[in-house]
Amino acid sequence: MKNSQERSKLLSSRGQDTGPLNSLIAIAIFVLIIASLYWAQAVLIPVALAMLLTFLLSPVVGTLERIALGRLPSVILVVVLTFSLLGGIGWIVTLQFASLANELPNYTVNIRQKIADVRGAGRGGALEKVQQTVEDVKTEMQKGDASTTAKNQRSVVVQPAESFTFWPVPSAIGPMVERFASVGLVIVLVIFMLVQREDLRNRLIRLVGYGRLTVTTRALEEAGQRISRYLLMQTIINSSFGLAVGLALYLIGLPYAILWGFLAALLRFIPYIGPFAAAIMPSALSLAVFQGWLWPLVIVGLFLTLELLNNMVLEPLLYGESAGVSGVGLLVAIAFWTWLWGPVGLVLATPLTVCVVVFGKYVHRMDFIGVLMSDQPAMASNMSYYQRLLAMDQAEAAEIVEEHLTSHSPERIYDGVLIPALNYARRDRELGRLTEDGEQFVFRATREILEDLDSLMPTTSSEAANAGKVALAASDLIGPLPKVRILGCPARDEADELALHMFRHLLDSTRYDVEVMPDAVLTSEVVALIGEKTPALIVIATVSAGGLAQTRYLCKRLRARFPSIKIAVGQWGVGSEDSNSILLAGADRVGTTLIETREQMIQLCQNSTHSEAQPDTTVPAFFPEQDAPSGVVA
């Protein structure tokens, strides 16, 4: 026994010693991965593009396969059509770019007029002063450069560029050959990936290991479905956007409308900033082409209108679900991939980030990526509410409650947000993590928020109305039912008292008369008060695991003093902790939520009412106040 304890201590000490070393190893691996992605981009970029096109074209190939074309003919047909379309669009865009560069000097007059208008608007103001200062500084710098150049003139001998590659390819056409080689590699990879996509999937699963078969399968399926759907829907939306832009600019009369439509569709793959970047060049060209300011403003309005139409109509209609990445995380990912791979990384940023987030969801050591970049809420509503109370930000805590109220029924606010926060405060206070002042702030803020909720909630909740249908049916048979008196007893402190006030809000005030006792009342005073009030039912509340002993003691005292009274115990926010012992102590029912306790209380009240009702119809079922049975108010 002693040896095993020493061995466990040795292992724990070794684990503590290797903690910093493991962190350094993880950082070194991360840096090595980033360096590999950068230095191997000549190979990795074509592979990433091929994977992207494979995800995009897989649904189309699968559809053609199901209509009996066969796999290889379907793949060849889709790839040929796709790259022919891309090549044709690229050729047209290149021609229009060259033509635009040749025709720009023809618009010099309009450009000068716009510049003159701008200068006239700023003449005599701050703009003109800034411009004059810039001109003065520029003139002085040019004088210094001219004198330096005159003193240090030297002859420069230009050597012809030489190629240092193995094959004797001239340096002038080297980049062009490299681009054509990359395109060819992408085409070949797309064909083989589409033909052998199941084999590639199985090899990846085998590489990870059969022990993680379930997790790997779920990750691959979710990543494939999410990326394929995102790319397909995004391609449809962006193509529609580019087509609408090109057609509208053609009708307006702006030259090279096909070029601007293609750029609008391509740049819109960049989230958030892409549509605005696409509007810059057509707007600038309109300033040079058209006289006046009307048509440039019309073009800017056109882009804004089409973007709003896409965001409000097309995207909610076509997207079944989002890409699963938060807005801030996606922007950071775009900046990272653009820095790493340039313009290609800008296009690949979203699908690559989706893959990383999906695998971070299923791989334990990568779960921090999902926390940082996923679009799911970082914290549950109850944790967010409690966190803002810890920061003593009552205003934002109230906003969280109101926001939760918009998507949940009023009954769920207490069980889902407020009760857990009281439980967390009690737990942290017992563990020494929260000061007494902090705990009192949580209680006070919750009490004030609870009072404010009265104006937001209906007087009788929907679930309470449904729960009271049986009681209303009974009242039709035996006559109008008087109010049932209920007494709420906190087991320990103010948190339990607040929970009882929440419970009181869940009940129909026209049917139940609920009185909540202060938390400072002693047990003997509780017993005496019950003897005076003669309630029909007692509800004992506790919202923390530490209130079990007090709850059992109070149940025993009340059961010994009032054998026939009905007692319901609410262990709210702590689960059914030893509910059998509470039942043995004298409780009739034990509930773990406010809604469950309410249903139990209604059932107990109905049973008590039927047992106290007289069978003789000549005698009223309920007596006047002075002769009324225990717990009934006339």
Q: What token pair was written down for 486?
A: 């209920």
Instruction: Look at residue 290 and tell me whether its pLDDT is greater than 70.
Output: yes
* Of 603 and 368, more confident: 603
CA distances from 366 to 225, 360, 362, 419 (A): 20, 4, 8, 33
Backbone φ and ψ for 102, nearest 5 degrees, come out as -75, -30
Instruction: Look at residue 570 and tell me whether its pLDDT is greater than 60.
Output: yes
Q: Determine contact, residues 543/573, Cβ cutoff 8 Å.
A: yes
Average pLDDT across the chain, whole number: 75
pLDDT in tens, 482-541: 778 888 898 888 888 888 988 888 888 788 888 888 887 788 888 888 888 788 888 988
Q: Which residues are registered as beta bridge partners of 591?
A: 570
Pairing of strands 512-516, 483-490: parallel
Burial (CB count within 10 angstroms: exposed 0-12, middle 13-18, buried 19+), residue 90: exposed
Q: What is the pLDDT of residue 197?
A: 82
Q: What is the pLDDT of residue 247?
A: 92
CATH 3.40.50.280 intervals, the chain:
461-614+621-633
Confidence bin at 118 (pLDDT 50/70/90)? low
Output the DSSP codes for 41-58: HHHHHHHHHHHHHHHHHH
Q: Hey, what amino acid is at 267?
A: L
Instruction: Look at residue 43 and tell me whether its pLDDT is greater than 80.
Output: yes
pLDDT in tens, 363-376: 766 777 777 777 67
CATH number of 461-614+621-633: 3.40.50.280
Instruction: Look at residue 579 and tell me whether its pLDDT is greater than 80.
Output: no
pLDDT more than 90, % of the chain: 1
pLDDT in tens, 70-111: 888 888 898 999 889 888 888 887 887 788 777 767 666 666
Instruction: Look at residue 178 and tell me whether its pLDDT is greater than 80.
Output: no
Q: What is the pLDDT of residue 436?
A: 87
CB neighbourhood size of 187 (10 A)? 17
The pTM assigned to this predicted structure is 0.61
Burial (CB count within 10 angstroms: exposed 0-12, middle 13-18, buried 19+), residue 603: middle
Q: What is the pLDDT of residue 237?
A: 85
CA distances from 600 to 138, 335, 544, 603 (A): 85, 57, 20, 5
Confidence bin at 133 (pLDDT 50/70/90)? low
Q: How far is CA 339 from the centre of its chain?
A: 26
Q: Hey, what amino acid is at 5?
A: Q
CA distances from 350 to 62, 344, 375 (A): 24, 11, 13
CATH 1.10.1240.10 intervals, the chain:
377-457
Q: Determine contact, residues 236/265, Cβ cutoff 8 Å.
A: no
Q: What is the pLDDT of residue 281?
A: 84
pLDDT in tens, 215-274: 777 777 777 777 777 777 888 888 888 899 989 988 988 888 888 888 888 888 777 778
Q: Determine contact, residues 572/597, Cβ cutoff 8 Å.
A: yes
Q: Which of 486, 490, 487 is nearest to 443 (CA)?
A: 490
pLDDT more than 70, % of the chain: 73
Instruction: Look at residue 64 and tell me whether its pLDDT is greater than 50.
Output: yes
pLDDT in tens, 439-467: 889 999 988 888 887 665 554 444 444 54
- Taking domain 377-457, whether its CATH number is 1.10.1240.10 is answered by yes
Calpha distance 37→32 (Å, rounded)? 9
